Structure 1
Amino acid sequence: MLMVDCWWGIVEAHNPQQYNWSGYRKLFQIVKDLDLKLQVVMSFH
């Protein structure tokens, strides 16, 4: 199992309420392609 911190400050980095998940989506697809399990921790600091 792989654990990943998902930093909200990265997802919503440029403008309030405008979300960019592209980097995480690429990572999640790699994890899926490798047939690994993923645990995501939402981090808001």
Structure 2
Amino acid sequence: MSLDTATNNRLIINQIQQKKETQMTVENLRLQRLQNLEHYRFA
């Protein structure tokens, strides 16, 4: 495996990782929003 391929693979892995983290953040925000709505509904 050439250095270019190794570097390219690392970049791809980093991008996938960032997408996963972004997706998790989106999910967390969505959950927080739902929890806030529930909280205010029963307050």
Larger radius of gyration: 2
Give the TM-score normalised by structure 2.
0.38
Whose relative contact order is higher, 1 or 2, with alpha carbons under 8 Å and at least 6 apart?
1
> More strand by proportion, 1 or 2?
1
Give the TM-score normalised by structure 1.
0.36
> More helix by proportion, 1 or 2?
2
